[in-house]
Structure 1
């Protein structure tokens, strides 16, 4: 016979599996009030509550639970590390976290990882440098849109490319990508320790971690053992890993000004132009020759995950709508959940947004057509849009963003400046509102931008795959030579 805890928790899991998240959350809150969770499983209560609140885009409520999910002890050390990685990822969504607090939080990951026996490496010089890419996202995922050129266009006379896939969502896209490289290895069924042995046995020279603390930090639990003599992180994550085993982080001079060095345990590799190169997927083909005119009245929009939309951003958007009294605001989520739309509607009204001027749309597979209903994209802060910014630019839309003081709050700044749209970057909330209002009130400028931006995007370093790969390869050769010439 089940005890009250087991009986209630089974109901929670049943509700969650059926998508009844409000019901699951209500049950969990009741269980917490009645103190039904045994001490050794309280981490499970907080992890599930945090995850549900994150799905509802309520980060302020979610973060205390997500913090307890890794602080409370549990027997599975790898799962506890994953809970900490998730927490570090979600810290980027809210305002008020200082750069020093962010760095200290990432340093706690290395402390929890503990002392590992790392592999030692000799100095080897071959005709071709062997580069391994470690990723959970070698499928139809936004990170692949930024990494694909590194697999497709590398110099085969100077480099070998090995792909290490730890994801569990392989598809026909995975097969396509696997065919580009010299070697593809599916590590999805192996433990971190076994995965490390595979990579080390392949004698990879440079290992590039494409995920960081995203996806539960699974790649970092491998990289921590130092299976390659030189290791880089970047593209799929936007902050330090906190690991001494990680040597470098990929950035550029715009996203990573000199003061950024103090925030990373890694050495920042600044590419001369952009650290990101965008390759649109096949679904964009239908929109390559758009001819669009601004709506009258104008429509602002955001296509970012609702979790990125802070109360502070909603207040700024309310201010913009007051300054352009005929304009409307369209918010398109990345998830299809109705509960999230209902909660966003409440938050927007509380922030002073007239609900008659607000349209909320759930996530959908054919979301690109929704861009046709918008004139100006309002970027989120402090967690900016990366893939969504590139998609909006490709679809001909200006993006107004606000510059922050760390990598994760500046990558849209780099994207816009590389496209030639630096004037859309605001250095303050006041300037952010002014940029957005100015665009909405200038239909002639808006029409010109809608026509020019797709051309500017295609002609920019952001979509010049060959130029980008050559810059990355020159960096690989530089850091490999540096390693070979270092004193033992």
Structure 2
């Protein structure tokens, strides 16, 4: 129908509905030359410009529409949406508030207001607006899903779960609800329900690599080793394409540093870099150093790092601890916070955090999370400090422009594998991993019977999360138990489903169920104390013990490891080298099995080995926290000096 047969506004709406955005904009522009006071034309022109990605033009048109139509709710809502797109949520809130006043029964205006308030992290007000939107239009999925997100961020976990459960029931094909349910069940460690939600989501989007790799991860968490078949199929089909997927969840599936780098790079590339890095400050005394983490709590990271935080030289370093979580009141948390300037940023948006961190004028930002759980890599990809360092949390390269350096050592990254790490490497002289030699080594106060262990048996143990275990090492452990009847295997009771599956795997290898004993999770000091009842720690392969190995060695428990190829598969070897115990490092699977069998056949040698480990605690570089900190600081200082001199990152050996 020709434009002369209808009003111009109707014609433009038809063009917009037909996707003819360029033609709609052209005709609206022509009509406005004759009718500059027609607010509806400005409104429709803004809609066309927005669809074409002409954000500035759309904003100008929308401002004209609001000026001419001050009582038109749709015009205010349109301007609110454009303000959000332009990164001005405060203006968006004003616009959506006005729209919801003018048209209070329109759920979309309240939903837009909720989104703008969520962007500002005004969580109570966002929840109220989204509840109103749900009440007015209970069938609209998007605001209901956002309501769950807001409730979750407020700490109302049960309310968020109920919101997503109801949404999944009423809108079974709405993918975000299934994904959020999966994440919620994962956070609750209800892995079977998380796995079912993941399977449902995969049926909705069978090509989503994040979902496919999350399914693999969830199966690994419950020791369902069909995960390895899933991984091989996924890698053959997709990994060579470099599609982004969570690289951390894949480290325990294969010992392949080249593939780990490829997955990390694809993942890092998925985070947009929006700003330039801050320029280096001129030297004015102390180096401003910021550790960024969401683990300011009773967590492995703090147990390793707190000794370093306390040993930092305050005359040379101003140390900041950026807590992206709400810190707990654990003793280790109090120590770490007492040694640093703490910034609690939980619940804040990325933009708010970036503004605050840039305001600190840090010289170095240290990423203690990488791509692990609750990480915020987008902060580093956008830019926090002139020098940004990947350290401790993620065992491997992050392979993105957001990280200049990686802290490692020559065992972790030998020359043959240097090309699989994109960052410049700070090679610490002993082990990359810090330790805290001020922590207690609790005396033995329990009996073996207290832990369900037989008094006279040789106790083999592995306190790694079951996620790290695979059939390769479990086959060897089962063979050792069959060969030496007076042995038991003591494993971490991470979750009941893993325990059930591991018992089934043991039975399939000819072992009685009482040969496996599971250690419940207990506080750190109790965990350290009970390790004195074990005789030998048998390490996993693709992803070895990290903090767990440090804990074992601190308590005099020998750790037998296989030195693999990727970073995650060489950490125990790094620790044992620094402890002066290279004979506990196997060079092959056969060597690993032979070393274990030899120790089981020579109990006197096994007992003597514990004495060597205890001596290493007092004499080796591994547990010399002051020495470690000075070397780390020397590496930090070199990175800052190079940056201030305009030099690019390069490998450093402090």
Contact 1:332 1:362 in 2 (8 A): yes
Q: Equivalent of 1:101, from 240, 249, 259? A: 259
Give the drift of 1:64: 5.4
Tell me the SS of whatever aligns to 1:215.
Answer: coil
Contact 1:399 1:424 in 2 (8 A): yes
Give the drift of 1:208: 1.0
In 2, Cα distance between equivalents of 1:399 and 1:454: 12
Give the drift of 1:392: 1.3
Aligned residue for 1:266? Answer: 423
Q: Equivalent of 2:363, from 194, 197, 205? A: 205
In 2, Cα distance between equivalents of 1:211 and 1:301: 28
- CA spacing shift, 1:84–1:64, aligned 2, 3 Å: farther
In 1, Cα distance between equivalents of 2:443 and 2:456: 25
In 2, Cα distance between equivalents of 1:319 and 1:17: 35
Equivalent residue pairs, number = 463
Does residue 385 of structure 1 match 2:549? no
Aligned residue for 1:275? Answer: 432
Aligned residue for 1:147? Answer: 305
Aligned residue for 1:185? Answer: 343
Aligned residue for 2:54? Answer: none
Does residue 298 of structure 1 match 2:455? no
Map residues 125-136 of structure 1 onto 2, 5 A cutoff: 125-136=283-294
Contact 1:376 1:397 in 2 (8 A): yes
Contact 2:247 2:263 in 1 (8 A): yes
- CA spacing shift, 1:4–1:249, aligned 2, 3 Å: closer
Aligned residue for 1:79? Answer: none
Aligned residue for 2:271? Answer: 113
Does residue 317 of structure 1 match 2:483? no
Aligned residue for 2:101? Answer: none
In 2, Cα distance between equivalents of 1:118 and 1:57: 44
Contact 2:290 2:319 in 1 (8 A): yes
Tell me the SS of whatever aligns to 2:618.
Answer: helix
- CA spacing shift, 1:106–1:310, aligned 2, 3 Å: same
- CA spacing shift, 1:252–1:45, aligned 2, 3 Å: closer
Tell me the SS of whatever aligns to 1:214.
Answer: coil
Give the drift of 1:375: 0.7
Aligned residue for 1:6? Answer: 170
In 2, Cα distance between equivalents of 1:19 and 1:163: 28
In 1, Cα distance between equivalents of 2:424 and 2:168: 52
Greater RCO structure (CA 8 Å; 6+ sep)? 1
Does residue 469 of structure 1 match 2:629? yes
- CA spacing shift, 1:304–1:281, aligned 2, 3 Å: farther
Give the drift of 1:309: 0.9
If the length of structure 1 is used for normalisation, what is the TM-score? 0.84
Structure of larger gyration radius:
2
Aligned residue for 1:91? Answer: 250
Name structure 2 gaps, 5 residues minimum: 1-138, 140-165, 448-453, 649-654
Aligned residue for 2:13? Answer: none
Does residue 485 of structure 1 match 2:645? yes
Give the drift of 1:116: 2.6
If the length of structure 2 is used for normalisation, what is the TM-score? 0.64
Contact 1:53 1:62 in 2 (8 A): no
Contact 1:145 1:280 in 2 (8 A): no
In 2, Cα distance between equivalents of 1:3 and 1:250: 45
Does residue 398 of structure 1 match 2:555? no
Q: Equivalent of 1:58, from 218, 224, 232? A: 224
Contact 2:220 2:466 in 1 (8 A): no
- CA spacing shift, 1:425–1:48, aligned 2, 3 Å: closer
Tell me the SS of whatever aligns to 1:456.
Answer: helix
In 2, Cα distance between equivalents of 1:283 and 1:473: 25
Task: State the Cα deviation string for residues 169-207 of structure 1 (Å, max 9, x = none).
Answer: 4324434322212x2111112222221221111110011
